[in-house]
Structure 1
Amino acid sequence: MRSIGEMARDSGLSVSALRFYDGAGLLVPAWVDPVSGYRWYGTEQLDESRLLARLRRAGMPLADIRLVLAGWSGADTDLVRQLLHAHLRRLEQGLADARSEFSTLRALLELRENPMTVLPTAAVGLAVSAPELAAALDAVRFAVSTDPELPMLGGVLFDIEGEALQVVATDRYRMAVAQAGVAGHDGPRVQAVVPSPLADAMRALLSDDAPVQLTVDGDRVALETGDRQVAGQRLDHDFPDYRRLVRLPAGRRASIDVPAFRKAVETGPVRAGESPDQGGVSCDVSVLRVAADGVVTVCEDVDDDQGHVAVNREFLLHALAAGARDQLILEFGAPTAPLAIRRTDTEDAFSLLMPVRLEN
């Protein structure tokens, strides 16, 4: 007999997935301890569990999987072949439909392009608070994308408007926004996407409280303090409209003690989830629930209430570290809405984590 942990390890299914499939009647344990409720599986069930894992990765509906497993155990190869072929045809048709839709979308994008809309080329120079800019870069750096297919996200956005410099980074699955005060700019809004190596060089320059001068001149961005300077070309790409992306409906807010909460996340239960930034492979997921009294817990089971959200555990730990505070605020919306991680002293510095789809 195999324990549920051994079955999970050898089959590629998570423990929570095995519990789900037991409840769904797809893969029922050979024996359940009547006292502890612990599940045990027969050796012959390993092949079925591996087959089930493959079918789920291929996106086959549970109803069809039930028939495939029945045909597999009964050696009804004709039924199994027909079901596999039918699912493959659905996938191919879905891909063909998606290609058609994307072709139409590309045509619409070409119509929307306006070659006359360019960022200002006039030189802009302004004074920036070195500690504030250093803190802003530290708060967003973790969210910069490394995906070569999305070069516009491979840097940090400097968004200058009025007396504020918004610093923004996103890799689609997380976003971080911070702000630094500026002086000497009274012109139109200016944006520049600073490549991550240049942003890191700028951060290294901000080691003291000396005055800092930020210059955007055409495609060149420079940061100067005293007799030291770092400069380079900004990315020749438009950054997404982050202001639109952060318009979230109000959610439930809960204050957390960061050191204690970090420990709870690091040592608490994890679920298996699909990490889209890694091609859909499994990642460790923390399921967070906020109770009516505002207490946030890391839980294993998910019920039908609206007080939970599942997020990539590694991303959550990065966001907590980037918050650089012993007290932060977590804002929960619906389970499908981003989790907002906010500072207690300002609304201008926050992170967003997209929810992760849990494996069944």
Structure 2
Amino acid sequence: MESDLRSIGELARDSGLSVSALRFYDGADVLAPARVDPRTGYRWYAPGQLADARLLARLRRVGLPLAGIRAVLGAAAGSGAAHQVLDAHLRRLEGGLADARRELSLIRRLIDQRENPMTTTPAEHRFTVPARALAEALDAVRFAVGGDPGLPVLSGVLFDLDGGLLRLVATDRYRMALAEVPVGIPAGAPAAEAPADGVPVAAIVPAALADALRALLGAGAGAVELALGGGAVRIEVDGHRIEGAALDHDYPDYRALIRLDPVRRVGLAAADLRAAVASAPTRSLPSGPDGTDCEVAVLTVDEAGRLTVAAPAANGGTDGGTGTGGGADAGAGVPGPDALRVAVNRDFLLEALPAAPDGRLVLELGGPIAPLAIRTPGRPGTFSVLMPVRLPA
């Protein structure tokens, strides 16, 4: 009955949401009123909507993004979907807290250097890594190094020493590649040369120096001793030594960009994906802020986990495509409403695939505006991320 409806002001008062917030969530298709007065446009809400409004207010307090709020409120009872959204958000919050601790440790060091410039000098940190693992890591990330002269910070490989791992990172804003290498302390090195827990040690190694290091590693036998600090990078392997200056820039915070919450994962042979991407039709579309055209392919994973690679159609759908092995047929039918699609730069995707060893890959899709992750089973710290290309409506 209409007499049981709450006005927007009453719902705001009883739920803890403001009137403007309720209007926003109506426009965002999150919490629509039960009735809107056709003459005045005034919103009225059913009694049962109070519980949703109160839940929405709490989700908002913990910073859950709009897509997550919509997923929680729309989750089927007993499906567990709402809890999965909350668990993923909690992981993001915990990761953000870890990043904040790391940044505060660095800020404290910078403050110490600023307040005591004559007595505080950047420490050099020495450590060893397996040569073969370092060679594989460089091979896995080199393709993503940026080449834009206007962004010199991206023209190298970040060597980020974090506890017992050396993480290599490269990005050109449209793609990102990461790889991890276990580290040790050189024999005879003082313990002080190992980084303190939680204190970041990093250097941006210029692309030319990274390439020289890769050539020096050769087949990757033995161990490599590296030293980072004081704006310099030094590498010693098999009696040979190279060194150079690190790039004097602050590298972007890559950790926030790699906290992905994939909706669907699909495993397949790397060779099958490479063949499907290379043979599938594409469409030339502008990509990036400079409007440069690129060949775009759309990857679609249906409810059964079958992957199809197709060209984006003019209406935002896909033209006939090529399927991969494992039950996917080339251009077979129209994917169902729950299929996930992501459009990517075809050439970038092909460049990312050789970085993985022969065998199987795992693709992680989160939807048309979420990055595509390309992972190698058994190597969780080595993967690539491709930014999606927005398709025309």
Structure 1 length-normalised TM: 0.65
Who is 1:320 aligned against?
353
| Cα distance in 2, alignment partners of residues 276 and 242 from structure 1 | 19
Aligned counterparts, 1:143-222, within 5 A:
143-184=144-185, 185-187=194-196, 188-207=199-218, 208-222=220-234
Shift of 1:226: 2.2
| Cα distance in 2, alignment partners of residues 296 and 334 from structure 1 | 14
Letter in 1 for 2:147: T
1:14-55 deviation digits (Å, cap 9, x = unpaired): xxxxxxxxxxxxxxxxxxxxxxxxxxxxxxxxxxxxxxxxxx
What stretches of structure 1 of length at least 5 have no aligned partner? Answer: 1-112
Q: Is the 8 A contact 1:271 1:358 kept in 2?
A: no
280, 292, 295: which one pairs with 2:306? Answer: 295
Aligned counterparts, 1:127-142, within 5 A:
127-142=128-143
1:356 partnered with 2:385: no
218, 233, 244: which one pairs with 2:256? Answer: 244
Q: Is the 8 A contact 1:274 1:359 kept in 2?
A: no
Aligned counterparts, 1:33-72, within 5 A:
none
| Cα distance in 2, alignment partners of residues 148 and 282 from structure 1 | 19
| Cα distance in 2, alignment partners of residues 267 and 228 from structure 1 | 44
1:228-251 deviation digits (Å, cap 9, x = unpaired): 111100000011111111112232
Secondary structure of 2:296's aligned partner = strand
1:333 partnered with 2:366: yes
Q: Is the 8 A contact 2:146 2:171 kept in 1?
A: yes
Shift of 1:120: 7.3
Secondary structure of 1:355's aligned partner = coil
| Cα distance in 2, alignment partners of residues 117 and 195 from structure 1 | 27
| Cα distance in 2, alignment partners of residues 327 and 221 from structure 1 | 35
1:168-222 deviation digits (Å, cap 9, x = unpaired): 0111110001000110135332011101101111111112312210011311101
Letter in 1 for 2:130: S
| Cα distance in 2, alignment partners of residues 295 and 330 from structure 1 | 12
Who is 1:281 aligned against?
292
Q: Is the 8 A contact 1:144 1:196 kept in 2?
A: yes
| Cα distance in 2, alignment partners of residues 285 and 305 from structure 1 | 22
Who is 2:49 aligned against?
none
Letter in 1 for 2:244: G
| Cα distance in 1, alignment partners of residues 121 and 377 from structure 2 | 35
| Cα distance in 1, alignment partners of residues 246 and 111 from structure 2 | 19
Secondary structure of 2:277's aligned partner = helix
Q: Is the 8 A contact 2:203 2:229 kept in 1?
A: no
Aligned counterparts, 1:63-82, within 5 A:
none
1:67-96 deviation digits (Å, cap 9, x = unpaired): xxxxxxxxxxxxxxxxxxxxxxxxxxxxxx
Q: Is the 8 A contact 1:258 1:325 kept in 2?
A: yes
Letter in 1 for 2:344: V
| Cα distance in 2, alignment partners of residues 226 and 261 from structure 1 | 38
| Cα distance in 2, alignment partners of residues 242 and 325 from structure 1 | 27
Secondary structure of 1:235's aligned partner = coil
1:347 partnered with 2:380: yes
| Cα distance in 1, alignment partners of residues 208 and 121 from structure 2 | 23
| Cα distance in 2, alignment partners of residues 202 and 140 from structure 1 | 14
Identity of aligned residues (%): 46
Q: Is the 8 A contact 1:289 1:297 kept in 2?
A: yes
Shift of 1:321: 1.0
1:254 partnered with 2:266: yes
Who is 2:73 aligned against?
none
Q: Is the 8 A contact 1:125 1:213 kept in 2?
A: yes
Shift of 1:117: 8.0
Who is 1:266 aligned against?
278
| Cα distance in 2, alignment partners of residues 325 and 186 from structure 1 | 35
Number of positions where the alignment pairs a residue of Structure 1 with one of Structure 2: 247
Calculate the aligned-residue CA RMSD, in Å.
2.1
Q: Is the 8 A contact 1:273 1:357 kept in 2?
A: no
1:229 partnered with 2:245: no
Secondary structure of 2:183's aligned partner = strand
| Cα distance in 1, alignment partners of residues 200 and 221 from structure 2 | 26
Change (3 A) 1:138 1:332: same
| Cα distance in 2, alignment partners of residues 349 and 251 from structure 1 | 20
Change (3 A) 1:216 1:186: closer
